């Protein structure tokens, strides 16, 4: 069972518990759609939009099979809100200089994040 299937199963259980307890959600979960196009490259003034993006990025961290551990760490740092420069500097301090065959610098970190972001948007139909 994939992480996404596990998540959906757990979500269904908890939504049922909430409904059984009488909780009424003010949002219609079936029609709710993430508004995540305002990403760190283009931060929205709406904090809820930014929150939705990072929540989706965190789900992608759990759900996606990364090519290698460095790519996963880059995405983990990104999903926690670190800038490209901070990610690069953190990896450099840890003496991580390559991701696969790519030599790491701020621009290559940005390229990796952008490629993963496209995969995330495609996976979740955003």
pLDDT at residue 27, as a whole number: 53
What distance lies between CA 116 and its chain's CA centroid? 9
Could you tell me the pTM of the whole model?
Answer: 0.66
Higher pLDDT residue, 48 or 104?
104
pLDDT in tens, 61-101: 999 999 999 999 999 999 999 999 999 999 999 999 998 88
Q: What is the dihedral of CA 65, 71, 73, 79, to 10 degrees?
A: -80
pLDDT at residue 38, as a whole number: 44
Vertex 13: Cα angle to 9 and 19 (nearest 5): 140
Phi, psi of 16 (to 5 degrees): -65, -45
């Amino acid at each position: 069972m994939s992480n996404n299937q596990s998540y959906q199963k757990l979500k269904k259980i908890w939504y049922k518990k909430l409904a059984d307890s009488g909780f009424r959600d003010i949002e219609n979960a079936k029609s709710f759609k993430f508004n995540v196009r305002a990403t760190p490259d283009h931060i929205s003034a709406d904090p809820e939009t930014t929150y939705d993006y990072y929540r989706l990025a965190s789900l992608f961290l759990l759900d996606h099979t990364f090519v290698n551990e460095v790519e996963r760490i880059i995405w983990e740092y990104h999903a926690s809100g670190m800038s490209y420069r901070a990610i690069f500097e953190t990896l450099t301090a840890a003496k991580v200089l390559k991701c696969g065959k790519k030599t790491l610098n701020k621009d290559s970190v940005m390229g990796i994040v952008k490629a993963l972001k496209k995969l995330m948007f495609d996976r979740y139909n955003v």
